[in-house]
Amino acid sequence: MHHTHLIFLFLQLGCLGAAQARICTVHAAGNGTDDAPAILAAFADCGKGGKVVLPSANYTIAQPMTTHMEGGSFDLHGYLSFTPDIDYWIANSYRFPFQNLSIGWHITGSDFVVDGHGTGGVFGNGQVWYSWARGAGNLFGRPMSVSITNATRAVVKNFKIIQPQFWASLVWNSTDILLTDFYVNATNMDPAAGGVNWVQNTDGSDTYQSKRITYQNWVYQGGDDCIAFKPNSTQITVRNVSCTSLNGMTFGSIGQYPDSFDILQDIFIEDVVVQNHPDAELEGGGPYSAQLDGGAYFKSWIGVDVGTPPNGGGGGRGYCKNVTIRNLHIINATVPLLLTSELTYSQLNATYANTSTFVWDDIHFYNVTGTSNTGQVIDFECSTAAPCSGWSFTDMNLTPAGGAATRGDTVCHNFFNYTGLPQCTA
Ligand SMILES: *[C@@H]1O[C@H](CO)[C@@H](O)[C@H](O)[C@H]1NC(C)=O
Ligand SMILES: *[C@@H]1O[C@H](CO)[C@@H](O)[C@H](O)[C@H]1NC(C)=O
Ligand SMILES: *[C@@H]1O[C@H](CO)[C@@H](O)[C@H](O)[C@H]1NC(C)=O
Ligand SMILES: *[C@@H]1O[C@H](CO)[C@@H](O)[C@H](O)[C@H]1NC(C)=O
Ligand SMILES: *[C@@H]1O[C@H](CO)[C@@H](O)[C@H](O)[C@H]1NC(C)=O
Ligand SMILES: *[C@@H]1O[C@H](CO)[C@@H](O)[C@H](O)[C@H]1NC(C)=O
Ligand SMILES: *[C@@H]1O[C@H](CO)[C@@H](O)[C@H](O)[C@H]1NC(C)=O
Ligand SMILES: *[C@@H]1O[C@H](CO)[C@@H](O)[C@H](O)[C@H]1NC(C)=O
Ligand SMILES: *[C@@H]1O[C@H](CO)[C@@H](O)[C@H](O)[C@H]1NC(C)=O
Ligand SMILES: *[C@@H]1O[C@H](CO)[C@@H](O)[C@H](O)[C@H]1NC(C)=O
Ligand SMILES: *[C@@H]1O[C@H](CO)[C@@H](O)[C@H](O)[C@H]1NC(C)=O
Ligand SMILES: *[C@@H]1O[C@H](CO)[C@@H](O)[C@H](O)[C@H]1NC(C)=O
């Protein structure tokens, strides 16, 4: 892709420039002392064209941080370990207007590189949040680990996010960002969960109001969306990603705000494996994340505004178009490819079925393979108010439970002008 080349060029220039750069090194104070003030001071000193280096293994972060860089780099060799003080973070996290969510750390600026060197990133202390939320979704104040915010031309690489508090990462109002070589793992170790998904909302990454974003070489294990595209995500590339999760590639949720026109456009995804948790049978007590629902999941809200976000809403307009998904392998999903246009997240009032006006158009699959653990491999529930159109399917091989393809394993409602899906039943 054109923009990826630009980012790599910039990466090389960045390395050349680093020779003369001013360097600020911060060692961890240890003993649970908050390292955020020293880190913020280093960014104030070296954030413009210099280099901030964190050589220690573990830094305590006891307050929200915005680290700003213009040129230069951030070398992180250990974890930013966020304190487990739930009341503090609920009161003091940064707010994110979409779905009234919160953020712990903003990375802002332009022309910078963040390098976790394969040993650094965020330790979110998420277990306290998982045991506190007990599976309840979108609780107020529970912060995302990190957001790339208001950023242009940046690379974040060799980065780990372990036990994220909420969404592991977000890209918000940013352009030309490469996130490469990431490892994210949210695993519940509290046996009280008893098989219920307590790592809900631990998405690997979400994009919002951002364009020309590339995700490359990711490994994600967690209890929600592997990578999700929220309103106004355009020119997104996802390549070589492995997900063990509730959902794989997620489009939405979208259309939640009645006064909003939401766009998802020019999204290219290739070489992705999405698998059900191999220890699903250990859900009684062992380390557990979630059972896999959909490998690719398109989700829009009803066309009527009912309740308030984060868990209510609807009535938003908009479209998703020009999506290509190739070489997607889905292992043991409930329904490998899934579209719902009837989201409420609270109880669905049948009165509102088929009202969604959000349009899913011009979506193409090549070489999508895998298995389902139910009788269904595809369930596209488009609404009568906005039928799906212009989808194509080439080299598909999805097998339902039991092995034999049956009429009925592929359900497509209000699905028109498509090619390559002869078994589709309305
Ligand atoms: C570590 O911190 C505690 C309380 O914050 C303090 O009582 C103790 O003396 C500190 N230990 C060291 C080695 O600094
Ligand atoms: C870092 O230190 C904190 C405070 O001592 C501790 O709670 C946390 O588990 C440590 N994190 C890692 C990743 O070692
Ligand atoms: C966000 O949630 C908090 C806590 O429930 C509430 O006080 C606040 O009014 C909400 N804000 C918006 C914009 O909905
Ligand atoms: C992003 O930019 C907006 C508009 O200038 C500003 O209000 C906001 O504080 C910025 N966010 C961060 C995290 O700096
Ligand atoms: C988005 O980020 C840019 C900086 O890249 C800033 O100038 C702009 O104000 C931000 N917009 C919003 C809506 O925050
Ligand atoms: C995630 O962490 C859990 C608990 O440490 C571990 O069992 C699992 O193998 C890890 N997943 C991946 C993909 O590394
Ligand atoms: C998305 O983009 C459209 C078109 O530019 C704009 O009207 C809408 O307000 C944007 N929505 C959000 C949530 O940014
Ligand atoms: C559709 O998206 C692809 C990226 O997948 C992009 O290369 C292409 O230019 C887009 N097509 C149009 C007509 O914009
Ligand atoms: C189809 O995708 C699989 C991975 O899921 C890959 O190994 C294979 O090479 C792809 N086939 C083609 C023809 O690209
Ligand atoms: C497939 O998924 C089901 C439901 O999560 C689980 O019970 C079963 O053990 C899984 N099969 C394999 C081979 O992982
Ligand atoms: C469903 O919505 C209709 C129309 O607003 C309303 O009359 C009815 O009470 C609602 N039913 C439930 C179960 O909420
Ligand atoms: C079918 O979908 C394609 C791709 O979106 C579009 O170009 C074409 O106009 C559609 N045809 C009809 C009859 O809707």
pLDDT digits (tens, 9 = 90+) for 366-379: 999 999 999 999 99
Is 371 part of a structural domain of the chain? Answer: no
Q: Which ligand ends up closest to the CA of 29?
A: 1
Is 348 part of a structural domain of the chain? Answer: no
**Which pLDDT score, from 0 to 100, does residue 14 have?**
45
Q: What angle do CA 180, 201, 187 make, to 5 degrees?
A: 75
In which band, very low, low, confident or very high, does the pLDDT at 343 lie, cut at 50, 70 and 90? confident
**Which pLDDT score, from 0 to 100, does residue 201 have?**
97
Query: Residue of the nearest CA to atom 4 in ligand 4?
Result: 150
**Which pLDDT score, from 0 to 100, does residue 390 have?**
97
CA distance linking residue 245 with residue 294, whole number of Å? 9
For the chain, the distance separating the N- and C-terminal CA atoms, rounded to the nearest angstrom, is 37
CA distance linking residue 359 with residue 388, whole number of Å? 7
For ligand 9, say whether the CB of 240 is within 6 Å of any of its atoms. no
Residues forming the active site: 224
On the question of pLDDT at 278 being above 90, the answer is no
CA distance linking residue 178 with residue 186, whole number of Å? 22
CA distance linking residue 324 with residue 239, whole number of Å? 12
Can you tell me which atom of ligand 9 is nearest the CA of 273? 5
* More confident position, 423 or 223: 223
For ligand 12, say whether the CB of 342 is within 6 Å of any of its atoms. no
Mutate-to-test residue for ligand 9 from 239, 275, 367, 368, highest number of ligand atoms within 8 A of CB: 367
pTM (2 d.p.): 0.94
Is 368 part of a structural domain of the chain? Answer: no
**Which pLDDT score, from 0 to 100, does residue 345 have?**
54
SS3 content of the chain, % helix, strand, coil (to 5): 15, 50, 35
Helix, coil or strand: residue 83: coil
Q: What distance in angstroms lies between residue 82's CA and the mean position of ligand 1's atoms?
A: 19
For ligand 8, say whether the CB of 366 is within 6 Å of any of its atoms. no
Strand ranges for 276-316 from DSSP E: 294-301
Can you tell me which atom of ligand 3 is nearest the CA of 309? 14
For ligand 6, say whether the CB of 287 is within 6 Å of any of its atoms. yes
* More confident position, 245 or 347: 245
In which band, very low, low, confident or very high, does the pLDDT at 12 lie, cut at 50, 70 and 90? very low
Strand partners, 241: 218, 272
Q: Which ligand ends up closest to the CA of 32?
A: 2
Q: What is the DSSP letter of 292?
A: -
Nearest CA-CA partner of 230 in 164, 170, 307, 275 = 170
Residue for token digits 């999941």?
297
Is 413 part of a structural domain of the chain? Answer: no
For ligand 9, say whether the CB of 329 is within 6 Å of any of its atoms. yes
Mean pLDDT of 349-355: 85
In which band, very low, low, confident or very high, does the pLDDT at 424 lie, cut at 50, 70 and 90? confident
Full DSSP string of 214-265? EEEEEEEESSSEEEEE-SSEEEEEEEEEEEESSEEEEEEEE---TT-EEEEE
Identity of the highest mean pLDDT range in 63-77, 268-282, 285-299 = 63-77
Contacts 24+ apart (CB under 8 A), 5-8: 6/153, 6/176, 7/153, 7/155, 7/176, 7/177, 7/178, 7/214
For ligand 3, say whether the CB of 140 is within 6 Å of any of its atoms. yes
Which domain covers residue 319, as residue numbers?
Answer: 2-340
For ligand 9, say whether the CB of 242 is within 6 Å of any of its atoms. no
Residues with CB under 6 A from ligand 10: 276, 278, 280-281, 291, 332, 373
Can you tell me which atom of ligand 10 is nearest the CA of 332? 1
Helix, coil or strand: residue 406: coil
For ligand 5, say whether the CB of 152 is within 6 Å of any of its atoms. yes
Structurally, the chain folds into a number of domains equal to: 1
Mutate-to-test residue for ligand 5 from 150, 177, 210, highest number of ligand atoms within 8 A of CB: 150
Q: For residue 323, give the CATH number of its domain.
A: 2.160.20.10
Is 110 part of a structural domain of the chain? Answer: yes
Cβ 231 vs Cβ 206: under 8 Å: no
Contact residues for 141 (Cβ-Cβ < 8 A; gap 6+): 89, 90, 91, 93, 102
For ligand 11, say whether the CB of 349 is within 6 Å of any of its atoms. yes
Is 391 part of a structural domain of the chain? Answer: no
Query: Residue of the nearest CA to atom 7 in ligand 12?
Result: 390
* More confident position, 152 or 404: 152
On the question of pLDDT at 102 being above 60, the answer is yes
Residue-wise over 209-238: b if at least 16 C-beta within 10 A, else e? Answer: bbbbbbbbbbbbbbbbbbbbbbbbbbbbbb
Percent of the chain predicted with pLDDT > 70 = 92
Q: What distance in angstroms lies between residue 269's CA and the mean position of ligand 8's atoms?
A: 12
CA distance linking residue 89 with residue 371, whole number of Å? 41
Mean pLDDT of 192-217: 95
CA distance linking residue 149 with residue 107, whole number of Å? 6
In which band, very low, low, confident or very high, does the pLDDT at 289 lie, cut at 50, 70 and 90? low
**Which pLDDT score, from 0 to 100, does residue 191 have?**
85
CA distance linking residue 336 with residue 325, whole number of Å? 13
Query: Residue of the nearest CA to atom 1 in ligand 9?
Result: 327
**Which pLDDT score, from 0 to 100, does residue 346 have?**
53
Residue type, 29: A
For ligand 11, say whether the CB of 350 is within 6 Å of any of its atoms. no
Can you tell me which atom of ligand 5 is nearest the CA of 149? 2
Is 272 part of a structural domain of the chain? Answer: yes
Strand partners, 184: 161, 220
Pairing of strands 175-185, 51-54: unpaired
**Which pLDDT score, from 0 to 100, does residue 16 have?**
44
Nearest CA-CA partner of 171 in 110, 229, 113 = 229
Instruction: Look over the chain and give the mean of its residue pLDDT values, rounded to a whole number.
Output: 92
Q: What distance in angstroms lies between residue 417's CA and the mean position of ligand 12's atoms?
A: 6
For ligand 3, say whether the CB of 100 is within 6 Å of any of its atoms. yes
Query: Residue of the nearest CA to atom 9 in ligand 5?
Result: 150
Is 370 part of a structural domain of the chain? Answer: no
Query: Residue of the nearest CA to atom 6 in ligand 11?
Result: 351
